[in-house]
């Protein structure tokens, strides 16, 4: 796509009044102008991200058509800035333009959203996003030489097409993160196109970019799921725990002011408002950077970076705990006026508790800190209704330890699986487990979840901070199951875990068994019909087919034991090996496939 087609959106953005109030302080004005300049410089890519995330089925040609519509908006507003459409919120105007595209709402099945207005329309478009992107074609792969020539011929067109493909496959990832990914892709392309062995260079350098995207995608979906399901209070709690651990010398009052910016950021980012998300993130990071002395000495280097690298850098920093900070804050369990302080302002009191406990326990995971805060809140409510509250809440520290011990045992069991099972068997263990508890999920989703669990355990189970690492990453896997949309339903048991208590959903999932409401398909739906393309599949592709076979077998026969399912997978592997070596593979598959089917039907 030529940049000429996209520049119209620059002036269009200038004519929109944003819900963020205009800054008045000199430093804030400077930060606002820097952010506005960043939006101007990247407006084409921002347009593509917004459109591709809202209308994932849209073709690249339709994205170009949308850019043309934005240019027409520009012309209208240049001619008369007082026109009604020139004073709308950016996201509202953007969705209005999408709805006005001739034939597209009907063709791409979002016309029902266009029949709504304002907040209802935004919500409809949001709920129209699909996390499971199995309906999209495989991500296009280009020969390295072709890729480099395309970049050389028109780098903007190359990057536009790439960010379009990535955005439509990651509809909930925040715009600043996708722009960072695009920057890293460009950096990788420039480097690898100068190399002799371009293919190997791309293969190696793509790994950290993919890992970065997956990590931020999981975290952002998890927090947005919490935001949309439980409201801003839970998001604030998550960030109190994270920021207090990362920057433990920050005063509570300073932390509270940061949280105000966090709330406004997630309101825009989770909804998919690209412009507000960029401005909200920038405002938050500018706030943090303006208070380096009172927050952390380790973010100076980050604050010198440009948008959006500045934010990504700060997020990954961590400060040391002050040496004079005691392990226990007695005012929450030893103070005789605890109940009075709690009753005076419960939200602030609980925020202070979480802040003090988190900054003292950098070894704990974010979910565990939220569990302890929930235990304290529940038990304190009971204690404050007794005849002698101080006697009651003076023992609560023991309850905190019991909660952590229970969580620790779950992690230890998972790491024992890691130690005792090979990588493949570990993966099959989680394929079976997840498919039995949530068979309604697609095969692609279930294989993804199993692979993510394996990645979490491979990453964490040999580290000194094993507990926090595993608990944090597995919480993200649970976030993938629960999804972002608050109206997502899987089955009653899973829905209960996802919607009842954010802090304890991991414990809830641990207790789940096979879904009793699930009715498996009556026929095998071609599961045991094998084709000769299995013999042409390379190792990775053949492994994917084996993974899918196992998940689909669990869906078909959920009553089979783990041992029986693994035995059937072994028989499938042996069958493929046998038939691919036979003189007539097709005849072999036609003969052996029904035998395997009959055996599983009889089980």
Nearest CA among 466, 474, 395 for reference residue 433: 474
For residue 317, CA distances in Å to 302, 311, 395, 406 come to: 9, 10, 35, 29
Q: Could you tell me the CA-to-CA distances from 475 to 213, 442, 449, 498, 569 in Å, in that order?
A: 17, 20, 12, 11, 29
For 442-445, which contacts have Cβ atoms below 8 Å and span 24 or more sequence positions?
Answer: 442/132, 442/134, 443/548, 443/551, 443/552, 443/555, 444/132, 444/134, 445/132, 445/480
SS3 128: coil
φ, ψ of residue 156 to 5 degrees: the values are -65, -40
Integer Cα distance of 582 and 406 in angstroms: 53
256: Cβ contacts below 8 Å, ≥ 6 apart = 351
Q: Which two tokens stand for residue 302?
A: 């980050």
Rg (CA), the chain: 27
Tell me which residue of 265, 60, 282 sits closest to 160, measured CA to CA.
60
Contact by Cβ (8 Å): 176, 208: no
User: What separation in angstroms does the CA of 88 have from each of 16, 22, 91, 118?
Assistant: 6, 16, 8, 10
HSE on the CB side for 234, CA within 13 Å?
Answer: 18
Q: Is 537 exposed, middle or buried (0-12, 13-18, 19+ CB in 10 A)?
A: middle
CA distance 339 to 444: 50
Instruction: In whole angstroms, give the CA distance from residue 249 to residue 421.
Output: 42
273 known ligand binder: yes
| 42 to 6, 57, 58, 122, 307: CA distances (angstroms) | 10, 23, 21, 23, 11
Cis (ω within 30 of 0) for the bond into 308? yes
Residue linked to tokens 């369990």: 333
Cα 479 to Cα 365: distance, rounded to the nearest angstrom: 15
Q: Which residues are annotated as a binding site?
A: 273
Q: Which residues are annotated as a binding site for Zn(2+)?
A: 273
């Amino acid at each position: 796509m030529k940049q000429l087609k996209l520049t119209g959106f620059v002036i269009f953005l200038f004519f929109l009044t944003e819900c963020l109030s205009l800054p008045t302080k000199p430093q804030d004005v400077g930060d606002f102008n820097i952010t506005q300049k960043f939006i101007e410089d990247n407006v084409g890519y921002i347009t593509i991200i917004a459109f591709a995330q809202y209308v994932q089925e849209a073709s690249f040609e339709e994205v170009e058509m949308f850019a043309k519509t934005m240019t027409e908006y520009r012309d209208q507003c240049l001619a008369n800035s007082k026109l009604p459409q020139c004073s709308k919120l950016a996201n509202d105007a953007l969705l209005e333009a999408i709805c006005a595209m001739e034939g597209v709402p009907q063709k791409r099945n979002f016309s029902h959203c266009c029949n709504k207005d304002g907040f209802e329309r935004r919500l409809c478009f949001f709920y129209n996003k699909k996390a499971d992107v199995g309906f999209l074609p495989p991500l296009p792969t280009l020969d390295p030489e072709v890729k480099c020539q395309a970049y050389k011929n028109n780098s903007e067109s190359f990057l536009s097409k790439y960010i379009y493909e990535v955005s439509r496959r990651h509809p909930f990832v925040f715009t600043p993160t996708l722009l960072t990914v695009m920057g890293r892709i460009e950096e990788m392309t420039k480097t690898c196109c100068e190399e002799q062995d371009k293919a190997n260079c791309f293969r190696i350098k793509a790994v950290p970019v993919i890992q970065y995207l997956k990590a931020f995608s999981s975290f952002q979906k998890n927090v947005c799921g919490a935001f949309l399901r439980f409201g801003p209070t839970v998001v604030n709690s998550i960030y109190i725990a994270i920021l207090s651990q990362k920057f433990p010398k920050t005063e509570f009052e300073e932390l509270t002011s940061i949280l105000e910016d966090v709330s406004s950021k997630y309101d825009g980012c989770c909804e998919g408002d690209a412009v507000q998300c960029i401005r909200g993130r920038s405002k938050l990071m500018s706030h943090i950077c303006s208070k380096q002395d009172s927050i952390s000495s380790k973010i100076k280097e980050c604050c010198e970076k440009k948008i959006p690298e500045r934010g990504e850098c700060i997020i990954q920093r961590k400060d040391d705990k002050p040496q004079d900070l005691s392990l226990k804050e007695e005012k929450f369990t030893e103070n005789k006026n605890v109940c009075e302080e709690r009753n005076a302002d419960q939200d602030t009191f609980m925020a202070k508790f979480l802040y003090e406990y988190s900054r003292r326990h950098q070894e704990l995971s974010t979910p565990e800190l939220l569990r302890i805060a929930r235990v304290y809140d529940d038990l304190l409510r009971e204690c404050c209704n007794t005849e002698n509250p101080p006697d009651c809440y003076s023992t609560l520290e023991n309850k905190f330890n019991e909660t952590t011990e229970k969580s620790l045992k779950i992690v230890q069991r998972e790491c024992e699986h890691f130690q005792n099972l090979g990588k493949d068997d570990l993966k099959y263990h989680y394929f079976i487990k997840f498919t039995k508890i949530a068979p309604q999920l697609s095969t692609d989703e279930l294989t993804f979840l199993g692979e993510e669990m394996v990645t979490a355990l491979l990453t964490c189970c040999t580290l000194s901070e094993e507990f926090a690492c595993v608990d944090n990453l597995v919480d993200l896997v649970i976030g993938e199951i629960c999804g972002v949309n608050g109206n997502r339903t899987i089955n009653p048991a899973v829905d209960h875990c996802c919607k009842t208590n954010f802090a304890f959903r991991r414990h809830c999932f641990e207790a789940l068994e096979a879904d009793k409401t699930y009715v498996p398909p009556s026929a095998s739906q071609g599961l045991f019909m094998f084709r000769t393309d299995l013999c042409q599949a390379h190792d990775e592709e053949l492994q994917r087919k084996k993974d899918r076979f196992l998940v689909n077998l669990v869906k078909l026969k959920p009553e089979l034991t783990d041992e029986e399912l693994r035995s059937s997978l072994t028989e499938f592997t042996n069958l493929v090996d046998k038939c691919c070596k036979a003189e007539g593979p097709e005849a072999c598959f036609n003969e052996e496939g029904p035998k395997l089917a009959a055996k599983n039907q009889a089980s």
